[in-house]
Amino acid sequence: MLELQQNALLGLLPEEDLAHLLPHLEQVTLSLGQSLSESGRQMSHVYFPLDSIVSLLCVMEDGASTEIAVVGYEGVVGVSLFMGGETTPSRAIVQSAGKAYRLKGQLLKNEFYRAGPMQRLLLRYTQALLTQMAQTAVCNRHHSVDQQLCRWLLLSLDRLPGDKLIMTQELIANMLGVRREGVTESAGKLQRAGLISYNRGHITIIDRPGLEKRVCECYAVVKREYDRLLNHHDVM
């Protein structure tokens, strides 16, 4: 039961509701780059990450992509299933490998339509996720690559138990929808400032407060909404 609570959504459920799901939750290992859903295809399962991160990406016809949100231990991958749309034009790709709990989509829908604690929790999470998507769009349009990179690093860190990320500059560029050279330049600035250490795809955060001073307001907006909407005392 304690391991289940490593996922914040599962951890917020009353014990009775969590026990109802317990026999149907399957722990799986998610590998870097694994696709959990593709554009226009209905997902068969939803995923509750434990120590992994999943990127939601919009992909253009020419193959170019931009990240619109990240999901980690605070959330669930597969909101289209219980929101009634069944499919989504975005892709869900594992950004940081790790473990997750998998649940059949129909079982989650059944639990959602019971109109109990799970429904209230998922609706609040969806609002927080929409906030992240909207703020990402604003950030990509109005803020520098340096600020976008800081936002991306902090949001990713908030969804991992440690201070290390494994991610190449090419993959970060794809996530942000910018040229690799721009990421290389921005990462170099952060490294020279002593905020991060970057070596062969391994990023270690050295000075988080320093990153928070450089980031635009978009990070704080998203964090406040997640903290507000997924507060244990307010949800239930």
What is the CATH number for 84? Answer: 2.60.120.10
Number of compact structural domains in the chain: 2
Domain-located, residue 226: no
Give me the residue label for tokens 């790790």.
Answer: 98
Same domain for 8 and 100: yes
Q: Which residues of the chain have pLDDT under 70?
A: 1-5, 175, 177, 232-236
Same domain for 81 and 165: no
Same domain for 157 and 89: no
Same domain for 77 and 25: yes
Same domain for 146 and 110: no
Domain-located, residue 171: yes
Same domain for 110 and 8: yes
User: Which of 114, 130, 148 is the C-terminal boundary of a domain?
Assistant: 114
Same domain for 145 and 104: no
DSSP 21-82: HGGG-EEEEEPTT-EEE-TT---SEEEEESS-EEEEEEE-TTS-EEEEEEE-TTS-B-HHHH
Same domain for 201 and 146: yes
Same domain for 146 and 60: no
Domain-located, residue 129: no
Same domain for 110 and 71: yes
User: Which of 97, 114, 131 is the C-terminal boundary of a domain?
Assistant: 114
pLDDT of 83 reads 84
Same domain for 144 and 107: no
What's the pTM?
0.88
pLDDT of 1 reads 52
pLDDT of 62 reads 79
Positive or negative, the CA dihedral 89, 150, 213, 182 is: negative
pLDDT of 74 reads 92
What is the CATH number for 200? Answer: 1.10.10.10
Q: Is 162 helix (H, G, I), strand (E, B) or coil?
A: coil
User: Which of 114, 129, 161 is the C-terminal boundary of a domain?
Assistant: 114
69, amino acid identity: A
pLDDT of 108 reads 92
232 CB-near residues (< 8 Å, 6+ apart): 12
Cβ-count burial of 109 within 10 angstroms (0-12 exposed, 13-18 middle, 19+ buried)?
A: middle
Domain coverage including residue 200: 140-221
Domain-located, residue 156: yes
